[in-house]
Amino acid sequence: MGKEYHKLVRDRIPEIIRKSGSECEVAVLSDAEYRQALRLKLIEEAGEAAVANGEDLVAELADLYEVIDALMASYGIAGDEVLNAQAKRRETRGAFAEKIMLLRTSLIPFL
């Protein structure tokens, strides 16, 4: 009796599963399915990074970077484009260096 996953995995995972003596069934996704699967994977990896500590945090952040790289490649977005957007947003909205937590406002939300 097997386990159902229906999730995007790294390219070598099927090979690793088979070498361990198990069987697996895979499917190759269309571009649209792949992009959607990457978005779901982004959420999965962000959740794992959010609760990780120490060495595990480094590994989870590496996984998050891998998903971001794949998502960028799937849309043809260059790394410089993202870094430029990051710099612009940092300039206009700031970074997170001051550790500010917004507790409430008296106005309609504008974030």
Q: What is the pLDDT of residues 33-49, one digit of tens each?
A: 999 999 999 999 999 99
Q: Please give the pLDDT value at position 110.
A: 65
Q: Please give the pLDDT value at position 75.
A: 98
Q: What is the average pLDDT across 65-83?
A: 98
Q: Please give the pLDDT value at position 41.
A: 98
At 107, the pLDDT band (50, 70, 90 cuts) reads confident
pTM for this predicted structure = 0.88
Q: b/e string for 23-42 if b means 16 or more Cβ within 10 A? A: eeeeeeeeeeeeeebbeebb
Q: What is the average pLDDT across 64-76?
A: 98
